[in-house]
Structure 1
Amino acid sequence: MDTNVIYEQEPPLILIVEDDRTTRMLLRRAMEKEGYRVIEAADGEEGIADFVRQKPDIVLLDAMMPVMDGFTCCQHFQQMSGGNTTPVLMITSLDDPDSVDRAFEVGATDYITKPIHWPVLRQRVRRLIEQNHLYQKLEFANQQLQRLALIDGLTQVANRRRFDEYLEREWFRQARERSCLSLILCDVDFFKAYNDTYGHQAGDECLRLVARAIAQEVKRSADLVARYGGEEFAVILPNTDAVGAVYVAENIRIQIEALAIPHATSTVRDRVTLSLGVTSLIPESENEPAMILSLADKALYQAKASGRNQLILIGNEE
Structure 2
Amino acid sequence: MSVNPDSAVILVADDDPFIRHMLTSYLEREGYQVIEAPHGEAALDLYFYHLPDLVLLDALMPVVDGFEVCRRLQALTQGNLAPVLMITGLEDEKSVDQAFEIGVVDYVTKPINWAVLRQRVRRLILQHRLEIQLREANHRLQKLTMIDSLTQVANRRRFDEYLLQEWGRGVRESLPLSLVICDIDNFKNYNDHYGHQAGDRCLQEVAKTLNQCISRPADLVTRYGGEEFAVILPNTTMEGATTVSQRLVQGIQQRELPHDTAPQAIVTVSCGVANVLPMADYLPSDLVFTADQALYQAKAQGRNQYQAIYVMPPAAKQSMPPGAASAMPILRSLWPEA
In structure 2, the residue matched to 1:282 is 277
> Which one of 30, 51, 54 corresponds to residue 55 of structure 1?
51
> Which one of 50, 70, 80 corresponds to residue 76 of structure 2?
80
Provide the rounded CA distance (Å) in 2 between the counterparts of 1:191 and 1:111. 66
Provide the rounded CA distance (Å) in 1 between the counterparts of 2:175 and 2:48. 38
In structure 1, the residue matched to 2:325 is none
Q: CA-to-partner distance for each residue in 1:202-240, whole Å, 9 max, x for gaps?
A: 222221221122122222233221100011000112222
Task: Give the secondary-structure state (helix, strand or coil) at the position aligned to 1:35.
Answer: coil
Q: 1:83 to 1:60 in 2, by over 3 A?
A: farther
Task: Give the secondary-structure state (helix, strand or coil) at the position aligned to 1:257.
Answer: helix
Which sections of structure 1, spanning at least 5 residues, go unmatched? Answer: none
Provide the rounded CA distance (Å) in 2 between the counterparts of 1:96 and 1:78. 23
Q: 1:21 to 1:83 in 2, by over 3 A?
A: farther
Structure 1 length-normalised TM:
0.92
Q: 1:16 to 1:283 in 2, by over 3 A?
A: closer
How do 1:59-138 residues align onto structure 2 when only pairs under 5 Å count? 59-81=55-77, 84-138=80-134
In structure 1, the residue matched to 2:266 is 271
In structure 2, the residue matched to 1:149 is 145
Deviation at 1:10, TM superposition (A): 3.9
In structure 2, the residue matched to 1:44 is 40
Provide the rounded CA distance (Å) in 1 between the counterparts of 2:80 and 2:167. 33
Residue 215 (str. 1) matches residue 215 (str. 2): no
Task: Give the secondary-structure state (helix, strand or coil) at the position aligned to 2:274.
Answer: strand
Deviation at 1:176, TM superposition (A): 4.2
Q: CA-to-partner distance for each residue in 1:59-85, whole Å, 9 max, x for gaps?
A: 111111122211111122212347633
Asked if 1 retains the 8 angstrom alpha-carbon contact of 2:6 and 2:31, the reply is: no
> Which one of 309, 313, 318 corresponds to residue 308 of structure 2?
313
Asked if 1 retains the 8 angstrom alpha-carbon contact of 2:219 and 2:233, the reply is: yes
Structure 2 length-normalised TM:
0.87
Q: 1:272 to 1:10 in 2, by over 3 A?
A: farther
> Sequence identity of aligned pairs in percent?
53
* CA RMSD across the alignment: 1.9
Deviation at 1:11, TM superposition (A): 2.6
Asked if 1 retains the 8 angstrom alpha-carbon contact of 2:73 and 2:81, the reply is: no
Task: Give the secondary-structure state (helix, strand or coil) at the position aligned to 2:304.
Answer: coil
Deviation at 1:162, TM superposition (A): 1.3
Give the paired residue count: 313
Residue 203 (str. 1) matches residue 199 (str. 2): yes
Q: CA-to-partner distance for each residue in 1:37-65, whole Å, 9 max, x for gaps?
A: 11211111221221111111001111111
Task: Give the secondary-structure state (helix, strand or coil) at the position aligned to 1:85.
Answer: coil
Runs of at least 4 residues of structure 1 off by over 4 A? none
Provide the rounded CA distance (Å) in 2 between the counterparts of 1:144 and 1:189. 34
Asked if 2 retains the 8 angstrom alpha-carbon contact of 1:11 and 1:35, the reply is: no
Which sections of structure 2, spanning at least 5 residues, go unmatched? Answer: 314-338
Task: Give the secondary-structure state (helix, strand or coil) at the position aligned to 2:310.
Answer: coil
Asked if 2 retains the 8 angstrom alpha-carbon contact of 1:58 and 1:86, the reply is: yes
